Structure 1
Amino acid sequence: MRRLLPLLILSLTLLACAPVARAPELASPAAPYTRAAFGAGWADSDGDCLDTRAELLADLSTVPVTLAPSGCSVRHGRWIAPYTGQVVAEAGDLDIDHIVPLRYAWDHGATSWSAEKRARFARDPVNLLPVSASANRSKGARGPLDWLPPDQGFRCQYVLRFRRISKAYGLAFTAAEERDLVALTGRVCGV
């Protein structure tokens, strides 16, 4: 019992500091996941013919962007793809990644959200990053316990941002997932 007491205290401390909702066990979602549950893709919220993707690319380019002749999409700019550290000049070489993937969110509580909340989550600029297409495909719908950016210098920021978004939207994690996320944060952030 004396040997278990420090582990019990550590476990209770980690649970008390948990930054997101915890669920005893995450059951399979009531409805199967579909991308359409998060809205009809990128939106042009302000009516300027630049959708969410184009506006994000324009905002995050380190130089003025070149638009397509229609003025409704971005062709060129200069971005540093955070997962790999690559410098990218062609907008077509970038994907817009959901830091917390839509499928991941679905499996951690988005099934119970309103359609409006799911659409807001899918287009929230805090949850979006322009990344290399290969890194986005490598990541897929996985979270930080199963995938980390190849650029080790970005891992801490990625994990912290993932956890902050998860908390802001009230995603639910099992106690084991939360414990592992706390441990991962300590490892990648040197805390």
Structure 2
Amino acid sequence: MSTRGVAAALLGALVLFSLATREDTGATVKGGARVRAAPLDNPAGVRPGLAPVTARADRAEAVRLIGRLRVARMGSKAGYTRTRFGRNWTDAVSGVPYARNGCRTRDDLLARDGEHVRYRKGSRCVVVAMDLRDPYTGRIIRWSKKRADEVQVDHVVPLSYEWRMGARRWTAAKRARIANDPLNLMPVDGDVNEAKGGLGPARWLPPRRKVRCAYVVRFAQVALKYGLPVTRADKSAMLAQCR
């Protein structure tokens, strides 16, 4: 196994057996800003942001990772509702970082990726204001809870996409895990998230071109973790971003 592979395995094991407190984000600070993590160095999804994948060796590894994805035809959306994936941002899941730490998943992710985070008075969980370096556009969003929809937490692999690619046959517990797994979650510009909707990489990619390889790697990591296939068109589009 490569040095990167050993490090990734160790990091994953440490995260899954941690107490999943706010200190387990693995984020580092440089010059007052959180250091963004490239997805190949962030297999558990506990470090913030989405750093570009630029090194030739890393892009080759990204292509190998995406190459492992199974392909399948997209099924019907019939029967899909958000509630099929559990209560919105529930903390009552098992087997993913931050689970059962007493905070809603959305707040965990805002705390992971936000800078200058402020909490509701008397709360260790509820984020009321922060600055977000939006990974999809590159803009800095000065967010407060008064404008809640300005920042939305994107499911990198959309829930409706998961449903159409086989999650309809999963247990409710597995659907709740993928809906609350930080590997699959990214706080982003709300308008951009709404434009994405339930689309796969063949039809939607982040406006910021330099993170597109990183985005599709994250998409592939989630799909591989949960045994989820992608469409042939999506796999081709993903490979094209990292070659």
Q: Report the TM-score, using the length of structure 2 for normalisation.
A: 0.63
Which residue in 1 is equivalent to 2:69? 20
2:225 to 168, 171, 175: 168
Number of residue pairs the alignment of both structures matches = 167
Alignment identity in percent?
38
Contact 2:69 2:235 in 1 (8 A): no
Once the two structures are superposed, residues 55-94 of structure 1 have per-residue CA deviations (whole angstroms, 9 ceiling, x without a partner) of 111121233x111235242111221111111111214221
Once the two structures are superposed, residues 73-117 of structure 1 have per-residue CA deviations (whole angstroms, 9 ceiling, x without a partner) of 211122111111111121422100000000000000101110000
- 1: CA distance, partners of 2:74 / 2:130: 42
Residue 142 of structure 2 aligns to a residue whose secondary structure is: strand
Superposed CA RMSD in Å reads: 2.1
Residue 115 of structure 2 aligns to a residue whose secondary structure is: coil
Which residue in 1 is equivalent to 2:160? 103
Contact 2:132 2:142 in 1 (8 A): yes
Which residue in 1 is equivalent to 2:87? 40
1:81 to 124, 134, 141: 134
1:137 to 190, 194, 198: 194
Once the two structures are superposed, residues 116-142 of structure 1 have per-residue CA deviations (whole angstroms, 9 ceiling, x without a partner) of 000000000000000011001000011
Tell me the CA shift for residue 172 of structure 1: 2.4
* Higher relative contact order, chain-length normalized (CA < 8 Å, sep 6+): 1
Once the two structures are superposed, residues 3-40 of structure 1 have per-residue CA deviations (whole angstroms, 9 ceiling, x without a partner) of xxxxxxxxxxx9xx8422333x44436x5101111001
Which residue in 1 is equivalent to 2:118? 66
The list of structure 1 runs, each at least 4 consecutive aligned residues, that deviate by more than 4 angstroms after superposition, is: none
- 2: CA distance, partners of 1:58 / 1:186: 32
Residue 160 of structure 1 aligns to a residue whose secondary structure is: helix
Change (3 A) 1:62 1:117: same
- 2: CA distance, partners of 1:101 / 1:26: 13
- 1: CA distance, partners of 2:168 / 2:100: 28
- Unaligned segments of structure 2, at least 5 residues: 1-62, 92-98
**Whose radius of gyration is greater, 1 or 2?**
1
Letter in 2 for 1:58: A
Tell me the CA shift for residue 47 of structure 1: 5.0
- 2: CA distance, partners of 1:70 / 1:141: 37
- Unaligned segments of structure 1, at least 5 residues: 1-13
- 2: CA distance, partners of 1:127 / 1:112: 19
Which residue in 1 is equivalent to 2:240? 187
- 2: CA distance, partners of 1:47 / 1:165: 22
Change (3 A) 1:119 1:182: closer
